Amino acid sequence: MTRLARDGRRAVRAGLGAALLLAAAVEPAAAAVPTAAAVRGEVARTNQQAGRAQPLVVEVQVRDETGASAASGRMVLGGAAGPTRLELALADGSHEVHERRAGRYEATRDGQPLGRAMPLLPPLGLLQARNEADVAAALALLGGDPERVDLGMAGGADCWVLGGRDPGPFDANGRPSYWLDQDGRRPVRIDERGGVRFRFGPPARHEPAIFLPAWIEVEAPGWPRWRIEVVRVTSGNLASAP
């Protein structure tokens, strides 16, 4: 056999070996993406285990980008399908109410509608959904696709992205989506249309056994970044909440 033939065979064997290594590397990555139904099930299971799949009243402190207190108040959370409301007393003495209801976002200041308002109230129905159907419905209200799952990274965590994400940088995603930490199953982020983004801090426990993110950072184009700090959480009948 000529030297040229031997070199040719070695090249072929090397090429086949590289191809097999590449296939072995790609296959586990593809297998790491679960079905959308499985992710929806994990979201619902985690919500129930965290004790937040029920009506809640959440006392909050809102801070501006400098860390100064800008407002205080409460969020009234009606569950995955119920309305949610944020009631705030601002530092200047005015009062704002932000509401999410049936996919609409509305805000008033001292009873007057705000034509343009910082979207401070997160779509927390995704953190309260009790089952797969509730998770799908809550994401659909944001315009997201509950049948799509991609992989992403956010807050230092490998995430399942329910609703999918745009190709490219993770922070440039424009698809409505819910980001769930693969390891700790904690909520990491929710993206809405128009570049609105809610980033969640680590879970904090409130009695008797309710876990909510310790803080929520709100990002929206044209607005400074604000942070909502969770002070206290109680459960019960929202109709009787003061």
Indicate the DSSP class of residue 14. Answer: H
Mean pLDDT on 208-218: 96
Domain residue spans of the chain? 35-240
Range with the lowest mean pLDDT among 74-83, 94-103, 169-178? Answer: 74-83
**CATH architecture for the domain at 35-240:** Clam (2.50)
- SS3 assignment for 23-69: HHHHHHHHHCCCCHHHHHHHHHHHHHHCCCCCCEEEEEEEECCCCCE
Q: What is d(CA 73, CA 56) in angstroms, rounded to the nearest whole number?
A: 14
Of 65, 124, 60, 115, nearest in space to 90 by CA = 60
**pTM of this prediction?**
0.84
Indicate the DSSP class of residue 114. Answer: P
Q: What is d(CA 73, CA 35) in angstroms, rounded to the nearest whole number?
A: 39
pLDDT at position 20, please? 32
Q: What is d(CA 51, CA 128) in angstroms, rounded to the nearest whole number?
A: 9
Contact criterion met (CB below 8 Å) for 193 and 174: yes
More confident residue, 145 or 20: 145
Whether 226 has a pLDDT exceeding 80, the answer reads: yes
Whether 204 has a pLDDT exceeding 50, the answer reads: yes
Contact criterion met (CB below 8 Å) for 36 and 146: yes
